[in-house]
Amino acid sequence: MESRRLGNSEMQISVLGFGAWAVGGGGWMGSMGPQKEADSVPAIQAALDRGMNWIDTAALYGLGHSEEIVAQALAGRSPRPYVFTKCGRVWDSNRNVGASLKAQSIRRECEDSLRRLKVDSIDLYQIHWPDPDEEIEEGWTEMARLKEEGKVRYIGVSNFSVPQMTRAQAIAPITSLQPPYSILTREIEPEILPYAHSQNIGVLAYSPMSAGLLTGAMTKERVARFAPEDWRRNLPNFREPLLSRNLRVVEYLRQIGTRHGRSPGEVAVAWVLRHPAVTAAIVGARSAEQVCGIINAAHLRLSESEAEEINALLKQQAAA
């Protein structure tokens, strides 16, 4: 699989990385619903066997459980893939989630993640959300300290705006940015992607298949069956009138994919990887079978005319 250098780091990462949100399982507000535990470790191992060399997780996913699953998948594995995780989201004994970028909280989170992941150092440690905004400077200063101490190798941010990244950059360099980016979610194109590109900040695009909407397997019936805790229930793209429009887009992606022997989801991911500012894309999977259904996105090269077809379709659907 093709690899690219991540921002100002020395890490050469595969253009696809395994997203471990779903394998964290359910039982907390903000999950992607229940997960079959027996499928989780094989899913991660299938991704690594097929060329992915990094895993993206977070303390928040499953309230620590995703990190524990990642540790199980990596036990005894050589060579060891890069492990990326995130901080800034905390929870209490009742599983109520809150936000903190206080130095003491971030340090405690880092120690907990090191323990759950069973590693001596985290390859990339990221602030999950810039929340609370007034604590960004304190939080980023502590992230830089953790890097100096060797507890983490590199530090990055997720969901930050350009002004927020500028504030962090004044304290210590940002290695990476993790933003949402897909055919249906393009808000970062005017300002955020150009800024990251100009500052040599690697971009790890999450939800390149728009939280599963562009995989080709999503239907209105499946959306209606989402668990109450599934965060996608409240996303505009999963509700009418956008849901019907988006499913029409998927059928068009299916037509393009048929030309290449690829799925709609693989076309969607390949479209994200075309952008010169994007280093790699995070693809989530619940099973080894799902990994096999998306892995070839790394090798799919959309032509300029195909990209223009997609853009024209989106304009047409937006005007409808």
Sign of CA dihedral 152, 158, 162, 163: negative
Where in the sequence numbering do the catalytic residues fall? 61
Sign of CA dihedral 95, 44, 156, 237: negative
The residue among 313 and 39 whose pLDDT is bigger is 39
- What is the CATH code of the structural domain delimited by 3-319? 3.20.20.100
pLDDT in tens, 248-283: 999 999 999 999 999 999 999 999 999 999 999 999
- Asked if pLDDT for residue 33 goes beyond 90, the answer is no
Highest mean pLDDT (candidates 8-17, 227-236, 305-314): 8-17
- Sequence-ordered list of residues with C-beta below 8 angstroms from that of 228, at least 6 positions apart, any chain: none
- pTM, rounded to two decimals: 0.94
Backbone φ and ψ for 211, nearest 5 degrees, come out as 55, 35
pLDDT for res 28: 80
- Asked if pLDDT for residue 90 goes beyond 70, the answer is yes
Concatenated DSSP letters for 37-98?
HHHHHHHHHHHHHTT--EEE--TTTTTTHHHHHHHHHHTT-SSPPEEEEEESEEE-TT--EE
pLDDT in tens, 186-244: 999 999 999 999 999 999 999 999 988 999 889 999 999 988 888 888 889 999 999 99
Concatenated DSSP letters for 125-194?
EEESS--SGGGHHHHHHHHHHHHHHTSEEEEEEES--HHHHHHHHTTS---EEE-B-BTTB-TTTTTHHH
